[in-house]
Amino acid sequence: MSTLVGTDDSAPQGHLWRLFSGQLRRDLLAAVRAPGELVNPLMFYLIGIALFPMGVGPGPNTLALIAAGVLWVLALLAILLAMDGMFRRDYDDGTLEQFNLHMQPLFVGVLAKTLAHWLMTGLPLTLIAPLAALWLYLPSHAVGTLMLTLLLGTPVLSLLGGMGAALTVSLRRGGLLLALMILPLYVPVLIMGAGAITVVTDGLDPAAQIKWLAAILALACTLVPFATAAALRIGMEQ
Protein backbone atom coordinates (compact mmCIF):
# COMPACT_ATOMS: atom_id res chain seq x y z
CA MET A 1 0.00 0.00 0.00
CA SER A 2 2.68 2.50 0.88
CA THR A 3 6.05 2.92 -0.75
CA LEU A 4 9.11 4.32 0.89
CA VAL A 5 11.52 5.95 -1.51
CA GLY A 6 15.14 6.72 -0.85
CA THR A 7 15.35 5.74 2.79
CA ASP A 8 18.08 4.09 4.79
CA ASP A 9 21.32 3.08 3.26
CA SER A 10 22.35 -0.43 4.25
CA ALA A 11 23.16 -0.39 7.94
CA PRO A 12 26.76 -1.23 8.89
CA GLN A 13 27.36 -3.88 11.50
CA GLY A 14 28.48 -1.50 14.25
CA HIS A 15 25.15 0.17 13.87
CA LEU A 16 23.22 -3.09 14.35
CA TRP A 17 25.22 -3.73 17.50
CA ARG A 18 24.36 -0.26 18.78
CA LEU A 19 20.65 -0.92 18.20
CA PHE A 20 20.90 -4.32 19.89
CA SER A 21 22.84 -3.16 22.93
CA GLY A 22 20.77 0.00 23.31
CA GLN A 23 17.54 -2.01 23.40
CA LEU A 24 19.04 -4.64 25.73
CA ARG A 25 20.32 -2.00 28.14
CA ARG A 26 16.98 -0.22 28.21
CA ASP A 27 14.97 -3.38 28.87
CA LEU A 28 17.31 -4.59 31.60
CA LEU A 29 17.25 -1.17 33.23
CA ALA A 30 13.45 -1.09 33.21
CA ALA A 31 13.32 -4.64 34.60
CA VAL A 32 15.68 -3.78 37.44
CA ARG A 33 13.50 -0.76 38.33
CA ALA A 34 10.49 -3.06 38.84
CA PRO A 35 12.02 -5.96 40.77
CA GLY A 36 8.63 -7.34 41.81
CA GLU A 37 8.00 -8.55 38.27
CA LEU A 38 11.33 -10.39 38.33
CA VAL A 39 10.52 -12.32 41.46
CA ASN A 40 7.01 -13.43 40.43
CA PRO A 41 7.91 -16.29 38.03
CA LEU A 42 10.55 -17.57 40.44
CA MET A 43 8.10 -17.60 43.35
CA PHE A 44 5.56 -19.35 41.14
CA TYR A 45 8.17 -21.99 40.27
CA LEU A 46 9.16 -22.66 43.87
CA ILE A 47 5.59 -22.69 45.19
CA GLY A 48 4.45 -24.92 42.35
CA ILE A 49 7.27 -27.39 43.07
CA ALA A 50 6.45 -27.28 46.79
CA LEU A 51 2.85 -28.38 46.07
CA PHE A 52 3.96 -31.79 44.80
CA PRO A 53 5.33 -33.26 48.03
CA MET A 54 2.07 -32.14 49.64
CA GLY A 55 -0.09 -33.54 46.87
CA VAL A 56 1.50 -36.90 46.11
CA GLY A 57 3.04 -37.43 49.56
CA PRO A 58 6.59 -36.86 50.76
CA GLY A 59 7.89 -40.36 49.91
CA PRO A 60 11.35 -39.99 48.35
CA ASN A 61 10.80 -42.78 45.83
CA THR A 62 7.57 -41.41 44.37
CA LEU A 63 8.94 -37.88 44.21
CA ALA A 64 12.23 -38.92 42.61
CA LEU A 65 10.25 -40.78 39.96
CA ILE A 66 8.27 -37.70 38.88
CA ALA A 67 10.98 -35.09 39.63
CA ALA A 68 12.28 -34.65 36.08
CA GLY A 69 8.84 -34.09 34.60
CA VAL A 70 7.64 -31.80 37.39
CA LEU A 71 10.78 -29.65 37.35
CA TRP A 72 10.44 -29.13 33.62
CA VAL A 73 6.66 -28.68 33.39
CA LEU A 74 6.74 -26.00 36.07
CA ALA A 75 9.68 -24.26 34.41
CA LEU A 76 7.61 -24.18 31.25
CA LEU A 77 4.56 -22.75 33.06
CA ALA A 78 6.63 -20.19 34.99
CA ILE A 79 8.15 -18.87 31.78
CA LEU A 80 4.75 -18.84 30.10
CA LEU A 81 3.38 -16.81 33.00
CA ALA A 82 6.04 -14.17 32.45
CA MET A 83 5.68 -14.14 28.66
CA ASP A 84 2.66 -11.85 28.47
CA GLY A 85 4.68 -9.04 30.02
CA MET A 86 7.32 -9.07 27.30
CA PHE A 87 5.62 -6.48 25.07
CA ARG A 88 2.69 -5.48 27.30
CA ARG A 89 4.20 -2.48 29.08
CA ASP A 90 5.74 -1.16 25.87
CA TYR A 91 2.41 -1.50 24.14
CA ASP A 92 0.53 0.28 26.91
CA ASP A 93 2.86 3.26 27.10
CA GLY A 94 3.25 3.63 23.33
CA THR A 95 6.95 2.77 23.08
CA LEU A 96 6.09 -0.25 20.97
CA GLU A 97 4.76 2.11 18.28
CA GLN A 98 8.12 3.85 18.09
CA PHE A 99 9.89 0.48 18.26
CA ASN A 100 7.83 -0.85 15.34
CA LEU A 101 8.26 2.28 13.27
CA HIS A 102 11.94 2.92 13.71
CA MET A 103 13.70 -0.27 14.77
CA GLN A 104 15.25 -1.31 11.49
CA PRO A 105 15.73 -4.19 11.12
CA LEU A 106 12.99 -5.10 13.57
CA PHE A 107 14.36 -8.58 14.35
CA VAL A 108 17.48 -7.09 15.96
CA GLY A 109 15.33 -5.30 18.51
CA VAL A 110 13.20 -8.40 18.99
CA LEU A 111 16.31 -10.48 19.67
CA ALA A 112 17.51 -7.91 22.22
CA LYS A 113 14.13 -7.87 23.96
CA THR A 114 14.04 -11.67 24.04
CA LEU A 115 17.53 -11.87 25.49
CA ALA A 116 16.62 -9.31 28.17
CA HIS A 117 13.48 -11.27 28.98
CA TRP A 118 15.44 -14.53 29.27
CA LEU A 119 18.09 -12.94 31.47
CA MET A 120 15.27 -11.90 33.81
CA THR A 121 13.29 -15.17 33.80
CA GLY A 122 15.00 -18.23 32.30
CA LEU A 123 18.44 -17.60 33.74
CA PRO A 124 17.40 -17.04 37.38
CA LEU A 125 15.06 -20.02 37.05
CA THR A 126 17.99 -22.17 35.91
CA LEU A 127 19.98 -20.97 38.89
CA ILE A 128 17.33 -21.78 41.53
CA ALA A 129 16.38 -25.11 39.95
CA PRO A 130 18.88 -27.11 42.13
CA LEU A 131 16.98 -25.92 45.21
CA ALA A 132 13.70 -27.15 43.76
CA ALA A 133 15.41 -30.42 42.73
CA LEU A 134 16.41 -30.98 46.33
CA TRP A 135 12.76 -30.84 47.46
CA LEU A 136 11.85 -33.55 44.94
CA TYR A 137 14.74 -35.88 45.84
CA LEU A 138 16.26 -35.65 42.39
CA PRO A 139 19.52 -37.68 42.55
CA SER A 140 22.40 -35.28 43.02
CA HIS A 141 24.28 -36.54 39.96
CA ALA A 142 21.34 -35.43 37.78
CA VAL A 143 21.37 -31.82 39.00
CA GLY A 144 24.08 -30.79 36.53
CA THR A 145 22.02 -32.19 33.66
CA LEU A 146 18.93 -30.41 34.96
CA MET A 147 20.72 -27.08 34.91
CA LEU A 148 22.28 -27.72 31.51
CA THR A 149 18.94 -28.65 29.94
CA LEU A 150 17.27 -25.58 31.47
CA LEU A 151 20.12 -23.40 30.24
CA LEU A 152 19.60 -24.69 26.70
CA GLY A 153 15.82 -25.03 26.85
CA THR A 154 14.56 -21.86 28.56
CA PRO A 155 15.90 -19.52 25.82
CA VAL A 156 13.81 -21.52 23.34
CA LEU A 157 10.78 -21.05 25.60
CA SER A 158 11.42 -17.29 25.69
CA LEU A 159 11.84 -17.11 21.92
CA LEU A 160 8.66 -19.06 21.14
CA GLY A 161 6.71 -17.28 23.87
CA GLY A 162 7.77 -13.92 22.47
CA MET A 163 6.16 -14.85 19.18
CA GLY A 164 2.85 -15.52 20.92
CA ALA A 165 3.17 -12.40 23.06
CA ALA A 166 3.70 -10.32 19.91
CA LEU A 167 0.58 -11.73 18.27
CA THR A 168 -1.64 -11.16 21.31
CA VAL A 169 -0.18 -7.81 22.40
CA SER A 170 -3.20 -5.74 21.40
CA LEU A 171 -5.70 -8.04 23.11
CA ARG A 172 -6.61 -6.89 26.59
CA ARG A 173 -6.98 -10.45 27.86
CA GLY A 174 -4.43 -12.28 25.77
CA GLY A 175 -3.05 -14.43 28.57
CA LEU A 176 -5.06 -17.60 28.08
CA LEU A 177 -4.96 -17.39 24.28
CA LEU A 178 -1.19 -17.03 24.51
CA ALA A 179 -0.99 -20.22 26.59
CA LEU A 180 -3.18 -22.13 24.13
CA MET A 181 -1.05 -21.05 21.19
CA ILE A 182 2.36 -21.51 22.72
CA LEU A 183 2.09 -24.58 24.97
CA PRO A 184 1.91 -27.05 22.06
CA LEU A 185 5.10 -25.51 20.65
CA TYR A 186 6.84 -26.12 23.97
CA VAL A 187 6.35 -29.90 23.72
CA PRO A 188 9.65 -30.83 21.97
CA VAL A 189 11.66 -28.86 24.53
CA LEU A 190 9.78 -30.55 27.36
CA ILE A 191 10.35 -34.03 25.93
CA MET A 192 14.07 -33.50 25.41
CA GLY A 193 14.63 -31.64 28.68
CA ALA A 194 12.79 -34.03 30.97
CA GLY A 195 14.04 -36.97 28.90
CA ALA A 196 17.68 -36.06 29.45
CA ILE A 197 17.21 -35.99 33.23
CA THR A 198 15.38 -39.31 33.27
CA VAL A 199 18.17 -40.88 31.22
CA VAL A 200 20.79 -39.61 33.68
CA THR A 201 18.91 -40.88 36.72
CA ASP A 202 18.76 -44.27 34.95
CA GLY A 203 22.54 -44.13 34.74
CA LEU A 204 22.80 -43.57 31.00
CA ASP A 205 24.39 -40.87 28.84
CA PRO A 206 22.05 -37.94 28.01
CA ALA A 207 24.21 -36.65 25.13
CA ALA A 208 21.55 -37.29 22.49
CA GLN A 209 18.82 -35.27 24.24
CA ILE A 210 21.22 -32.45 25.07
CA LYS A 211 22.40 -32.22 21.49
CA TRP A 212 18.78 -32.12 20.36
CA LEU A 213 18.10 -29.26 22.78
CA ALA A 214 21.16 -27.40 21.48
CA ALA A 215 20.00 -27.93 17.91
CA ILE A 216 16.49 -26.66 18.73
CA LEU A 217 18.03 -23.60 20.40
CA ALA A 218 20.22 -22.85 17.36
CA LEU A 219 17.23 -23.21 15.05
CA ALA A 220 14.98 -21.07 17.26
CA CYS A 221 17.62 -18.30 17.60
CA THR A 222 17.97 -18.14 13.84
CA LEU A 223 14.34 -18.27 12.76
CA VAL A 224 12.02 -17.17 15.56
CA PRO A 225 13.09 -13.47 15.79
CA PHE A 226 11.95 -13.00 12.18
CA ALA A 227 8.61 -14.64 12.94
CA THR A 228 8.22 -12.52 16.08
CA ALA A 229 8.97 -9.34 14.11
CA ALA A 230 6.27 -10.28 11.60
CA ALA A 231 3.89 -11.19 14.44
CA LEU A 232 4.52 -7.82 16.05
CA ARG A 233 3.54 -6.02 12.85
CA ILE A 234 0.34 -8.05 12.65
CA GLY A 235 -0.38 -7.73 16.38
CA MET A 236 -0.01 -3.94 16.32
CA GLU A 237 -2.47 -3.52 13.48
CA GLN A 238 -5.43 -4.77 15.49
What residues make contact with another protein under the rule CB under 8 A?
A: 1-8, 15, 18-19, 22-23, 26, 29-30, 33-34, 89-90, 92-95, 97-103, 236-237
- Give CA–CA dist 57/54, Å, rounded: 5
- Give CA–CA dist 81/79, Å, rounded: 5
Q: How far is the CB of 120 from another protein (least distance, A)?
A: 13
In total, the chain counts a number of residues equal to: 238
Q: Is 29 or 47 the residue whose CB approaches another protein more closely?
A: 29
Q: How far is the CB of 181 from another protein (least distance, A)?
A: 23
Q: What is residue 217's three-state secondary structure?
A: helix
Q: How far is the CB of 15 from another protein (least distance, A)?
A: 7
Q: Is 18 or 141 the residue whose CB approaches another protein more closely?
A: 18
Exposure b/e, 70-103, CB count within 10 A at least 16 = b: bbbbbbbbbbbbbbbbbbbebbeeeebeebbeeb
Q: Give the closest residue to 194 by CA, choosing from 150, 139, 159, 151.
A: 150
Q: Is 13 or 61 the residue whose CB approaches another protein more closely?
A: 13
Q: How far is the CB of 44 from another protein (least distance, A)?
A: 22
Q: Is 31 or 150 the residue whose CB approaches another protein more closely?
A: 31
